[in-house]
Structure 1
Amino acid sequence: MPVICDPEQLPAPSPELWELYTDGAASSEGAGAGLILTGPHQEEHTYALWFNFKVTNNEAEYEALLAGMRIARELGVKKLQAYVDSQLVANHINGTFNANDKSMQSYLALVHSLADTFIDFRISQITRSQNKHVDVLSKLAALTFNHLEKKILVEQVFKKSTEPEVTVAYVEEEEATWMTDIIEFLRMGSLPENEREATKIRVKAPNYELRGQILY
């Protein structure tokens, strides 16, 4: 006699593993980050970020990792394996090195906070040669971000992740502004039909919070 199983009693499928490769670059000419997020079925999300503020090279490495983690969380990723070529960042997060600098401590706290939003988060150091696909992106974003291929999403970032939140703007506007799509996404989960614009909103939205009638 066949055994009939109640679907509700079956174990939930285990979340699939995603991989994140990030790299940050800073010099006297500018700072940027490159990141590639790869899904279990080899779907790939590629981003370049240009930082419109001064950062050290280590801070740029942290900014790149945090940006990738935020994007992964926004895409609903539950299990994430991150790869960085920064020995400092990897060993800070794994607890091998102590973060003595105040800036590094702030970044480390943010990474741990974001890591807690995943069921499983791990980070490993890889060699620069193994990470050169995002290394190139980060350097291009830092130096010549306006000339990157249109297939790569380039975002300008205007403040450090460790800076406190401030009021950005009031929601009530008679006409559509740059905030409109972000507000609609936070309120209703709606996105523009254009896939590129929709991806931009997914990247930007985690940096804001809608409280009542004010966007923070």
Structure 2
Amino acid sequence: MVIGLLLAQSLGISRIVVRGDFKLVIEQIRGDCVVKNESIRKYHAKATTIVLIFDYVIFEHIPRSENEHADHLSRVTTTYYEDIPRGVHIEHREKPIHEETRMFPVGEEGGGLCSPIVKFLTTGELPEDKVEARKLQNRSYKFQMF
């Protein structure tokens, strides 16, 4: 879920429906259940921090029997690489995602989706539209210029 939220954020998505087949996790992220496991708490904290960046988020539980793709992905760790379906990318991570700091290079021109954030971080300039300016301020705290 954390990686999916980060991906959606990097694509500039502001409204998202998150569907998951693990009912307890969905209930925890909604705030319906308490997170008791310490290691899960770290992922929960990371996910809830990322969720704040979005304008609109809904979490839906989908039974595994109705989510064939997720069911297949859940078995990937016990299968051989040649059995992995086309289009599924496997990545070895050195650290758990909740401990990672992600860095993305931005060209000198600062173009693309990051352009307003780069401009704000380097010059303090905000969009004229007050709603857009507020969104930019809310999103920019996750970024640093090096």
TM-score range, shorter chain: 0.5 to 0.7
Matched, 1:75 2:11: yes
Q: Does the 8 A contact of 2:21 with 2:62 survive in 1?
A: yes
TM-score, normalising length from structure 1? 0.45
Post-superposition offset of 1:104: 2.3
Comparing both structures, which one devotes a greater share of its residues to helix?
2
How do residues 161-200 of structure 1 correspond to structure 2 at under 5 angstroms? 161-163=97-99, 186-188=105-107
Distance 1:84 1:77 in 2: 18
Q: Does the 8 A contact of 2:22 with 2:61 survive in 1?
A: yes
- Computed over aligned residues only, the root mean square deviation of the Cα atoms, in angstroms, reads 2.6
How do residues 100-179 of structure 1 correspond to structure 2 at under 5 angstroms? 100-140=36-76, 142-144=77-79, 146-147=81-82, 148-163=84-99
Comparing both structures, which one devotes a greater share of its residues to strand?
1
For residues 160-216 of structure 1, give each alpha carbon's deviation from its aligned partner in whole angstroms, at most 9, with x where no partner exists: 123365xxxxxxxxxxxxxxxx97x512279xxxxxxxxxxxxxxxxxx8763xxxx
Give the aligned length.
Answer: 112
Change in 2 beyond 3 A, CA 1:149/1:126: closer
Q: Which has the larger radius of gyration?
A: 1
Post-superposition offset of 1:89: 0.4
How do residues 34-45 of structure 1 correspond to structure 2 at under 5 angstroms? none
Distance 1:95 1:163 in 2: 22
For residues 66-92 of structure 1, give each alpha carbon's deviation from its aligned partner in whole angstroms, at most 9, with x where no partner exists: 111111111111111011111110111
Gaps of 5+ in 1: 1-64, 166-181, 191-208
TM-score, normalising length from structure 2? 0.64
For residues 103-131 of structure 1, give each alpha carbon's deviation from its aligned partner in whole angstroms, at most 9, with x where no partner exists: 22222111111101111111111101111
SS at 2:91's partner residue? strand
Residue in structure 2 matched with residue 11 of structure 1 by the alignment: none
Gaps of 5+ in 2: 112-142
Q: Does the 8 A contact of 1:85 with 1:131 survive in 2?
A: yes
Distance 1:115 1:125 in 2: 17
Identity %: 24
